[in-house]
Amino acid sequence: MKKVTLLTGTAALVAALSAPAFAQTQIASGADAAGVSAIDDRITDIEDNVTDNFDRAVDADRFGPADRRQGLFGTMSLSYSGRTGNNENQDLAVAGRINNNQGQFAQSVGLSLEFGEDDNGNKDQEEVNAIYDAQYYFNDQFYAFALGRISQNGLVDGERNSEAQSAEDFQAEFSDLRRDAFLGFGPGYRIINNPTTTWRVQAGVGVRYTQTGAQYAGFNRVEQADGTYTNVPVSDSSDTDVGYIASSRLYHRINENVFITNDTDYLGSSDADDVITNEFGVNFRLSEQLATRASYTTEYQENRKIRTDNSLGLAVVYGF
């Protein structure tokens, strides 16, 4: 197995500063046919991505479960579109999340189903994903967490999906994941927990289960010295690996308008490269109309040619 995916985050994040809201544009009649609505939707997507950067800057769990909504609650959504005429296809998407908070114990389950057909009536999407997230607080400082995820891509089956599928895409499908599941759990501890500074750390062990399209079809693709591939039958059509995860979340408010964050994650396993990521962010509320976030992210991965990747991010929100 090449890499174990690290799952981070346990609950919905809340905004840390009072960033101004984007103005809502009123779209006139005829906007759909003129193409205005499509561009307006794209503008909304960009705005949402920027505000999400601010939302993620704050750890919603930094003070524990005191302000969490109690009881059972959730959301469900469904989207369907079917087209006839020059194009005949259909798409279906179902998503939902259920939360249940009872005192010191908080848990949530999320599910998404996505199915689609192309113009020839062939499936071009068949994906099912589910996540589980739980925390139990023994006191204000010590807690336990559990994280789970399972994903399945029904199109990765070792068979050609349609006559239109290229040979390259068909060959690449053998290495794609049909099933991918992860379960991790461990303890967490709040080292500092006051209104201006919070610092919590957590660590645990996880197990990942994977199955590729080749394994599902009953063989492994093995590369030969000359660059060609041969199919080798397999008796075990899955791969299971144990991984180790550790995280640190630091938040410090300098004043009412400025706060900094530093998030660190480590992932290691017995037969995969160690991965370490660190994101340092500075958040400013310059005025009631202007807010800025600058971040610097470093990712280290063992055994690759250039082990460290760095990226600088800037997000600005201005309302008038």
DSSP string across the chain: ---PPPP---S----SS-PPPPPPPPPPTTHHHHTHHHHHHHHHHHHHHHHHHHHHTS-TTTT-STTPPPEEEEEEEEEEEEE-SS--EEEEEEEEEEEEEETTEEEEEEEEEEEEE-TTS-EEEEEEEEEEEEEEESSSSEEEEEEEEEEEETT-SSS---TTS-HHHHHHHTTSEEEEEEEEEEEEEEEEESSSEEEEEEEEEEEEEEEEHHHHHTEEEEE-TTS-EEEEE-S---EEEEEEEEEEEEEEE-SSSEEEEEEEEEEEESSS--EEEEEEEEEEE-SSSEEEEEEEEEEEETTSSS-EEEEEEEEEEE--
Please report the pLDDT score of residue 2 as a whole number: 38
Q: Residue 171 pLDDT more than 70?
A: no
The mean pLDDT value of the chain amounts to: 79
Q: Residue 13 pLDDT more than 60?
A: no
Q: Residue 110 pLDDT more than 80?
A: yes
Please report the pLDDT score of residue 173 as a whole number: 61
pLDDT band at 230 (very low <50, low <70, confident <90, very high): low
Each domain of the chain, given as residue ranges in start order, spans 57-272
pLDDT band at 125 (very low <50, low <70, confident <90, very high): confident
Please report the pLDDT score of residue 11 as a whole number: 28
Please report the pLDDT score of residue 181 as a whole number: 87
Q: Which residue has the higher pLDDT, 25 or 229?
A: 229
Region 28-34: mean pLDDT is 65
pLDDT band at 280 (very low <50, low <70, confident <90, very high): very high
Q: Residue 112 pLDDT more than 80?
A: yes
**Full-model pTM:** 0.69
Burial of residue 184, with CB atoms counted within 10 A of its CB: 0-12 exposed, 13-18 middle, 19 or more buried: buried
Q: How far is CA 146 from CA 15, 18, 97, 246, in A?
A: 25, 32, 17, 13
57: left (phi over 0), alpha (psi -120 to 50) or beta: alpha
Q: Residue 14 pLDDT more than 60?
A: no
Q: How far is CA 80 from CA 65, 83, 110, 128, in A?
A: 37, 10, 19, 16
Q: Residue 79 pLDDT more than 80?
A: yes
Q: Residue 209 pLDDT more than 70?
A: yes
Burial of residue 95, with CB atoms counted within 10 A of its CB: 0-12 exposed, 13-18 middle, 19 or more buried: middle
Q: Residue 19 pLDDT more than 70?
A: no
Q: Residue 15 pLDDT more than 60?
A: no
Rank 93-107, 148-162, 282-296 by mean pLDDT and report only the highest. Answer: 93-107
